[in-house]
């Protein structure tokens, strides 16, 4: 896949491609993060110029449909070759990777490595790489699949509650199957599921082709929305700074039915697995929490005049009685990804049993830097040595201070609070060591990064053991 940059709706394209070459972005741009998640090679080169179906990279030109080969070594310069180079598929067994993972794991004590996995396939891969549970299952990625995005759009564009519920019921079936698959693969281990985080406009058609395709879809569903009606709805969802907008638990406050659907899907999957004697430990994670009131509402509900907001515990209880299911052990917790949440962690821990540090967003808000826009001025910052590496790869000292502060404050309220870090930072050995020193319980990273993180943990444990011996 060759493109200027990638967006949420390109996840499928990255999944089916062998490698990704983009002109804009960096280590933590969308294309890089998703490619890493899928174990694809990914290269960002500002020299890439795309015009229509032709592209150039310096003096090297190629067209749509032509093959290129991209080589991105762990150390040293990356290279792009014309044509299909001969490749050797690595074999984890004969290469000694599996032995190396087993050896690393033998040094582990209380600190673990989980994985970021959105599909049973990812979870299975991560498990073979030594992951101890899922630290981050991003539920929005599940909606971008071809057959689902239009149902999700139906839900967003529905005119009344009934119509909306119909779309939600369809989505629930799909999500239930995802959760069932992931929890089955991870039998006996924790699976942390993050409820919807993305702003709603990310799900809308982004160009004329997508719009036309969606209108075609609506024609098949008895619902006819004109192009201008759909465009008006899309415009209404526009935001000036989507990173700081109507997203995460803020969506759940306005539209409780979306999280309710996700919660039902999680428990229906969990109940079914329990009847099959498979041990499940779902952990339901609420994103973009800024204060305890939000988490309290979403977890435990609230009755106000005229409205009864159902919390996760209410939904679970009603569903369990309705299905005559047996209880499953579960936890409700929260992402800590805003400075306000880190500072207010003591209060938030009253209503959450675990914290997961979402360090991408925490870095963006703490430093006031959008990771997508940062690439425009990062070269100048590097030139004048104003920043110590890329803060989206190596944790910034101020972000570290907030993580330590939140862990301390949270544990004062709830001494057994489980704390972990999820996101791209978790794969960086320097960050892993910080997480251990800060008293966290685990890091969670993409499946292909799990062995790297395990090695970092093992090295730190060996260092600690040596110090204690002296």
User: Does 49 sit near a second copy (CB under 8 A)?
Assistant: no
Q: Which residues lie across from 423 on neighbouring strands? A: none
Residue 256 Cβ, how far from a second copy at the closest point, in Å? 10
Q: Which of 115, 422, 435, 445 is catalytic?
A: 422
User: Does 338 sit near a second copy (CB under 8 A)?
Assistant: yes
| Assigned token pair, 374 | 């940062």
Handedness of CA 251, 253, 255, 260 (dihedral sign): positive
Query: Which is nearest to 447 in space by CA: 117, 31, 97?
Result: 117
Of 104, 116, 364, 444, the one binding a second copy (CB under 8 A) is 364
Residue 361 Cβ, how far from a second copy at the closest point, in Å? 7
- Count Cβ atoms within 10 A of the Cβ of residue 384 and give its class: 0-12 exposed, 13-18 middle, 19 or more buried: exposed
- The question of whether 206 is a catalytic residue gets the answer no
In order, the DSSP letters of 361-420 are HHHHHHHT--TTTGGGTHHHHHHTT-SSS-TTTS--HHHHHHHHHHHHHHHHH-TT-EEE
User: Does 118 sit near a second copy (CB under 8 A)?
Assistant: no
User: Does 366 sit near a second copy (CB under 8 A)?
Assistant: yes
- Cβ-based nearer residue to a second copy, 98 or 387: 387
Residue 338 Cβ, how far from a second copy at the closest point, in Å? 4
- The question of whether 445 is a catalytic residue gets the answer no
The answer to whether 230 and 158 are in contact (CB under 8 A) is: no
Of 46, 61, 188, 397, the one binding a second copy (CB under 8 A) is 397
User: Does 48 sit near a second copy (CB under 8 A)?
Assistant: no
User: Does 300 sit near a second copy (CB under 8 A)?
Assistant: no
Q: Cα–Cα distance between 29 and 376 in angstroms, integer?
A: 12
Of 369, 418, 419, 460, the one binding a second copy (CB under 8 A) is 369
User: Does 373 sit near a second copy (CB under 8 A)?
Assistant: yes
Q: Cα–Cα distance between 366 and 226 in angstroms, integer?
A: 42
Q: Which stretch binds a second copy (CB under 8 A): 10-18, 172-180, 245-253, 417-425?
A: 245-253
Q: 10 Å Cβ neighbour count for 286?
A: 25
Catalytic sites, residue numbers: 30, 422
Q: Which residues bind a second copy (CB under 8 A)?
A: 239-246, 250, 253-254, 288, 290-291, 293-294, 297, 302, 304, 307, 309, 337-340, 343-344, 361, 364-370, 372-373, 376-377, 380-381, 383-387, 396-399, 401-402
């Amino acid at each position: 896949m060759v493109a200027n940059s990638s967006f949420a709706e390109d996840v499928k394209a990255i999944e089916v491609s062998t490698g990704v070459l983009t002109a804009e972005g960096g280590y933590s741009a969308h294309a890089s993060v998703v490619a890493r998640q899928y174990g694809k090679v990914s290269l960002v080169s500002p020299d890439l110029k795309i015009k229509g179906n032709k592209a150039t990279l310096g003096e090297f030109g190629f067209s749509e449909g032509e093959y290129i080969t991209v080589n991105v070594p762990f150390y040293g310069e990356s290279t792009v070759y014309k044509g299909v180079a001969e490749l050797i598929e690595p074999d984890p067994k004969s290469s000694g990777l599996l032995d190396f993972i087993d050896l690393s794991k033998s040094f582990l004590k209380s600190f673990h490595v989980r994985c970021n996995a959105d599909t049973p396939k990812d979870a299975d891969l991560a498990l073979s790489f030594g992951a101890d549970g899922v630290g981050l299952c991003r539920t929005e990625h599940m909606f971008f699949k071809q057959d689902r995005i239009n149902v999700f759009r139906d839900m967003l564009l529905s005119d009344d509650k009934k119509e909306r519920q119909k779309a939600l019921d369809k989505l629930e079936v799909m999500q239930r199957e995802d959760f069932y698959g992931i929890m089955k693969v991870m039998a006996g281990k924790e699976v942390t599921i993050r409820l919807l985080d993305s702003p709603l406009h990310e799900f809308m058609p982004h160009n004329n082709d997508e719009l036309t395709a969606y209108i075609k879809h609506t024609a098949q569903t008895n619902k006819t929305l004109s192009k201008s009606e759909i465009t008006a709805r899309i415009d209404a969802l526009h935001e000036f700074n989507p990173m700081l907008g109507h997203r995460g638990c803020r969506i759940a406050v306005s539209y409780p039915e979306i999280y309710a659907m996700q919660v039902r899907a999680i428990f229906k999957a969990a109940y079914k697995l329990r009847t099959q004697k498979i041990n499940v430990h779902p952990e339901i994670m609420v994103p973009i929490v800024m204060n305890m009131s939000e988490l309290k509402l979403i977890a435990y509900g609230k009755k106000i005049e005229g409205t009864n907001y159902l919390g996760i515990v209410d939904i679970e209880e009603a569903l369990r009685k309705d299905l005559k299911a047996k209880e499953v052990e579960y936890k409700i917790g929260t992402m800590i990804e805003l400075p306000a949440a880190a500072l207010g962690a003591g209060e938030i821990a009253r209503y959450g049993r675990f914290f997961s540090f979402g360090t991408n967003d925490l870095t963006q808000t703490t430093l006031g830097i959008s990771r997508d826009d940062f690439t425009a001025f990062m070269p100048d910052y590097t030139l004048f040595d104003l920043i110590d590496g890329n803060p989206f790869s190596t944790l910034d000292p101020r972000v570290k201070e907030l993580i330590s502060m939140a862990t301390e404050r949270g544990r004062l309220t709830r001494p057994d609070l489980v704390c972990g870090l999820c996101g791209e930072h978790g794969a960086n050995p320097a960050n892993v060591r910080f997480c251990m020193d800060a008293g966290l319980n685990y890091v969670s990273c993409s499946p292909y990064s799990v062995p790297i993180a395990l090695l970092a943990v093992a090295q730190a444990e060996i260092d600690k053991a040596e110090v204690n011996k002296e």
